[in-house]
Amino acid sequence: MTTLLSSYIEQMRKQLGSDTDAFLASYDQPRTQGLRINPRKINENHPGVLPELQRLFTLEPIPWCPTGYYYEEESRPGRHPYHAAGVYYIQEPSAMSAVELLDPQPGEIVLDLAAAPGGKSTHIAGKLAGEGLLITNEIHPARAKILAENIERMGIPNAVVVSSNPPQLAARFPSFFDRIMVDAPCSGEGMFRKDPDAVGEWSPAHVEMCAARQLDILQDAVRMLKPGGRLAYSTCTFNEQENENTAAAILKLCPGLELERTERIWPHLHRGEGHFVAVFRLAEAAGEDAPKPSVRGRTQGRGKRGTVRPEEEAVRLYERWAAETWMPEGTGFQLTPGEPFLYGEQLYWLPQADCCPFDSSWLQGLKVLRPGLHLAEVKKNRVEPAHALALTLPPAAGVRLQVDLPSDGEEVQRYLRGEALQSVESGSGWTLVTVDGYPLGWGKLSGGMLKNHYPKGLRR
Ligand code: SAM
């Protein structure tokens, strides 16, 4: 039962008039629960375990998101091994409206400016289908780490995770992005049913502070939008000051910015906790010159003539490992367009998009958690495959050694706890561990035992 402040009720009465009672009655209803299936792992051509998910979690389609489903709270999909395999992402249903309205297309350059824990970013990445580039940013370092974990869990190859503030990014990426998502920090009125503690943080002064901060963030976002580009501004609050008024204020401040549409999801009218989305477009003639990085020069130094650059050596070791690990005829995994990027001992694959000159020099001076797909850790004369690489592999990736664990068995739970497993598989070496065919992580087989390489920080 949620107890609401009288000043909040008064505000909603002014805003909703005769709808107020229905709105207030929605607080006595149970909150809605949603998950979005990962189109990299389940799609029209490969429905995979979708029928099983429908059975396990009693899924019902969410009308405004083709990959979104309501689930029954007691079914706890967050605890199922398919969650660890990135088969789906748990997200409040009305929050799924924002990326549907932003409508990113494969091959585009997209920014998610306030991204943790990653609901909108993982949704955007699904729509990019591995083509183009997603820069996903979270200002708070601890939340950025969770964002990076979720990007990895969902097996996204073409995302760069950074932790910057919007002015810093705006200075680095002027007129750079085709689409930008600004899911702004807000007073969270749509969270009251889900999180009754959020009620205690609400006050008119907090609303005012949020509205001012939203306008600051939006101004930086517009500076990063290409002429002709689209920006979606969303909040999980009902507050007009933060929603319609902020949208009107940014239009006034930014010549060339046009409002295409606004949408609201209300808990008394729809099955969702509530969301506001405004979609803007920047006119073709507006904006600054074509993008150039503000910092020149590559981060990785080139070797002297005749010497091998460390990243070339790292790629050579990775390719040797890949040749040993994949079946010769295996075509299940291709790196997306990109370039190697060595960060200490960690080898990443930095994504590139056809239409933009993006390389590692753009990231200089930024706090980068994940410069693309983490491929491997480079050791002396060998590599160890990264967890992220396993999660990026499609089912049936053609890995030579694979241990497949049934999702309803005890062994998969033991693997997720970090325990070693006995295996009937013969052979030795790096082994892909899957659950009902979906990659979960790596292990190393030797003498009938599977040594566990599931990351320590993720173990249950
Ligand atoms: N988009 C996320 C998702 O779908 O999972 C939720 C984002 S949440 C509504 C807003 C985020 O903005 C928070 O993670 C918060 O840390 C971040 N934030 C707070 N202050 C900020 C600022 N001044 N600039 C940018 N982001 C900020």
The pLDDT, as a whole number, for residue 294 is: 45
CATH number of the domain where residue 419 is located: 2.30.130.60
Residue with CA nearest ligand 1 atom 19: 185
Over its C-alpha atoms, the chain yields an Rg (Å, rounded) of 23
40 lies in some domain = no
| Cα–Cα dist 41/55, whole Å | 18
Answer with the one of 234, 251, 282 that is the final residue of a domain.
282
Residue 3 pLDDT: 82
CB 433 within 8 A of CB 405: yes
In angstroms, the CA 374 to CA 346 distance is 7
Contact (Cβ atoms closer than 8 angstroms) between residue 382 and residue 418: no
Tens digits of per-residue pLDDT, 385-420? 999 999 999 887 889 999 999 999 999 999 999 999
- Which of ligand 1's atoms lies nearest the C-alpha of 186? 9
Looking at the DSSP bridge assignments, the partners of residue 353 are 356
Nearest atom in ligand 1 to the alpha carbon of residue 213 is: 23
Distance between CA atoms of residues 399 and 397, nearest Å? 6
Ligand 1 pocket test, pick from 140, 195, 213, 215 with the greatest ligand atom count within 8 Å of Cβ, gives 140
Mean pLDDT, residues 94-101 taken together: 98
- The rounded Å distance from CA 139 to ligand 1 centre is 7
Confidence of residue 175 (pLDDT cuts 50, 70, 90): very high
260 and 368 co-located in one domain:
no
pLDDT at 148 over 50: yes
Same domain, 225 and 263: yes
pLDDT band of residue 366 (cuts 50, 70, 90) is very high
Residue 377 pLDDT class (50, 70, 90 cuts): very high
Q: Do 118 and 181 fall into the same domain?
A: yes
For 251-279, what is the mean pLDDT?
97
Q: Is the pLDDT of residue 119 over 80?
A: yes
Instruction: Examine the domain organization and report whether 119 and 242 are in the same domain.
Output: yes
Alpha-carbon torsion (322, 325, 327, 332), positive or negative: negative
- From the CA of 184, give the closest atom in ligand 1: 10
Could you tell me the distance, in angstroms and rounded to a whole number, from the CA of residue 174 to the centre of ligand 1? 21
Residue 118, CB half-sphere, CA atoms under 13 Å: how many?
Answer: 30
DSSP state of 352: -
Closest Cα to atom 1, ligand 1: which residue?
Answer: 115
Quick check: is 451 in a domain?
Answer: yes
Residue 78 lies in a domain: no
Residues 6+ positions from 339 with CB-CB distance below 8 Å: 349, 350, 352, 359, 360
State the CATH number of the domain containing residue 265: 3.40.50.150
357 within 8 A of 321, measured Cβ to Cβ: no
Task: Tell me if 121 is assigned to some domain.
Answer: yes
The residue-averaged pLDDT of 191-197 equals 85
Reply yes or no on whether the pLDDT at 16 is more than 50.
Answer: yes
429 and 456 together in one domain: yes
Q: Residue 12: CA atoms inside 13 Å, Cβ hemisphere, count? A: 19
Do 427 and 383 lie in a common domain?
A: no
Indicate if 249 and 374 belong to the same structural domain.
no
pTM score of the predicted model = 0.95
Domain termination residue (choose one: 350, 365, 393): 393
pLDDT at 92 over 70: yes
What's the mean pLDDT in 432-454? 96
**Does 314 lie in the same domain as 173?**
no
Cβ(120) – ligand 1 distance below 6 Å: yes
Would residue 58 count as lying in a domain?
no
Shared domain check, 257 and 182: yes
Q: Is residue 312 part of a domain?
A: yes
High-pLDDT (> 70) share of the chain, % = 94
Domain check: are 370 and 418 in the same one? no
Q: Does residue 375 belong to any structural domain of this protein?
A: yes
Domain extent for 342: 305-393
Q: Average pLDDT of the chain?
A: 92
Question: What residues are annotated to the active site?
Answer: 236
pLDDT in tens, 42-55: 998 889 999 999 99
Averaged over 255-279, what is the pLDDT? 97
- Whether 43 maps to a domain, the answer reads no
Q: Which pLDDT score, from 0 to 100, does residue 354 have?
A: 79
Helix (H) or strand (E) holding 6: helix 6-16
pLDDT of 290-340, one tens digit each? 555 444 333 444 445 567 789 999 999 999 999 999 887 655 577 888 999
Mean local confidence (pLDDT), 26-50: 94
Structural domain total, the chain: 3
Mean of pLDDT values over 78-99: 98
| 327 shares its domain with 447 | no
pLDDT over threshold 90, residue 287: no
Going by alpha carbons, the residue nearest to atom 8 of ligand 1 is 185
Same domain, yes or no: 102 and 20: yes
Ligand 1 binding pocket includes 219 (Cβ within 6 Å): no
Cβ(393) to ligand 1 under 6 A?
Answer: no
| Phi, psi (deg, nearest 5) at residue 394 | -75, 160
Give the mean pLDDT of 133-155: 98
